[in-house]
Amino acid sequence: MNMEETAYRIRPCADDYVTVFESPDPQSVYCYSPAIINLPGGRLVLTMDLGGKGVADLPGPKGSRKGFITQGKVFVSDDKGRTWQHTHDFPFMHARPFLAGGALYILGHCVNLMIIRSDDGGNTWSEPVQLTGEGDWHQAPCNVHYAKGNVYLVMEDIRQHDMTVWPVSQIQPVLMRAREDADLLQPVSWTYASRLTAVDAFPSDRLDYFGVPFFTENSDYLKGQLNCPPVGWLETNVVQFTDPDHYWYDPKGRTFHLWARAHTGGTGYAAIAKVVENDDGTMTTMLETTPSGKRAVFVPCPGGQMKFHLLYDEVSRLYWLLSSQSTDSMTRKERLSAERFDLPNNERHRLQLHYSTNCIDWCFAAIVSIGASPKQSRHYASMAIDGEDLLIASRSGDARAKDAHNGNLITFHKIRNFRTLIYG
């Protein structure tokens, strides 16, 4: 191609990366759940966890979730991400770091919700504290929201966990709230919203005209069949609309929207609900409605079929969406590359960025990074804003990875001057 032919070609804007962690054995130790935060002093903190049979043989504290051995890790960087230092291990998974009251916390789960605290920017940490005594918790490191002196985030409780099938239809996204100045190691500091299970909110036998579910649902995984568990939601972000012109704006500031990955067998939708704070401080989870009175569950979301990350930028007043790009979900499974993982909509090696004023109408901003093959993932990523730059932590893999789901790397990417991607 000559210069004229390539002038408008889209190229990845952050294919270069720094390897934060590399698996010591890609066939038995897998890298999961990256999350990232930048502290006021400029330090970056990244968390992740490890899974796979080889984790049991690693040094350090570990947790067990129904026989699944896991270990969380903390890394810090004081040079804008060029180098990283390992500072701590913790015995839980699906964690995210966040600030509250000047302290740094990491909250995740290992059946029950678990939390640790650092008062020195991630160098040293408290002993893990168990926040709950019941439930079967789940999540991925999605976003954290601050409003009215409170911190809000979503964890998910699984109502019934049948180990023979992925239980996304049984997931209940639970919005959690705590005062920023409270001691968040104390269970009493947290308030939990009411529960709404996917199968109750939108039972698949009532769905039609959207092609959901795309494949026949299976309640058991069987070798040789196309396995698509019952429709559900998971890996939930929280957003709040502050634009008075938005149809779902609440002038009282008591409504928070849940934006979750939609497991439908297809692509391009997120699943949503809302949580309303009541006069007595309790929080009620319910479905949203449109002006016609119809309930809204599925909304447009590029990459909504996989874990995505939502981040509101106060400077641009835009919502930024980091997600997986799907390019061939309509290809019959048996005709896909042998390196592709699971269902046709499960493409995991193309990371994309969009922005929106309202979380419905998304403008494509950039391709962030593309793995060299479908096996070499760039997915399940998290992001944070550092001045003019967008920082990204990706669950990644190279040619040595076991497969596209079970990668061997956690990588750090940076989009410099990311707001210059805004157009129109």
What one-letter code names the amino acid at 16?
A: D
Q: What is the pLDDT at residue 1?
A: 55
Q: Cα 18 vs. chain centroid, distance in angstroms? A: 21
Distance of CA 287 to the CA centre of its chain: 21
Note whether residue 3 is domain-resident: no
Measured over the CA atoms of residue 137, residue 92, residue 398 and residue 350, the dihedral's sign is: positive
Q: In angstroms, rounded to a whole number, what is the distance separating the alpha carbons of residues 108 and 119?
A: 18
pLDDT in tens, 245-287: 999 999 999 999 999 999 999 999 999 999 999 999 999 999 9
Is 8 a member of any domain? no
For residues 42-47, average pLDDT: 98
Written as six digits, the tokens of 341 are: 């993982």
State pLDDT tens for residues 383-422: 999 999 999 999 999 999 999 999 999 999 999 999 999 9
Q: What is the mean pLDDT of residues 36-48?
A: 97
Q: Give the CATH number for residue 188.
A: 2.120.10.10
Task: Look at the chain and report how many structural domains it folds into.
Answer: 1
Distance CA 103, CA 89 (A): 18
> Domain for residue 365, yes or no?
yes
Whether 2 is in a domain gets the answer no
pLDDT number for residue 170 = 95
**DSSP-derived secondary structure letter, 127:** P
Percentage helix, strand, coil for the chain under 3-state DSSP, each rounded to 5: 5, 40, 50
Asked whether residue 409 is assigned to any structural domain, the reply reads yes
Domain assignment present for 1? no
For residue 7, tell me if it sits in a domain: no
**Rounded percentage of the chain residues whose pLDDT exceeds 70:** 98
Q: What is the pLDDT of residue 8?
A: 81
Please name the amino acid found at residue 80: K
**Residues 113-146: pLDDT tens digits?**
999 999 999 999 999 999 999 999 999 999 999 9
The pLDDT value recorded for residue 161 is: 75
CA distance 145 to 76: 22
Which residues form the domain of 276?
Answer: 14-421
Helix or strand holding residue 4 (H, E): helix 3-6
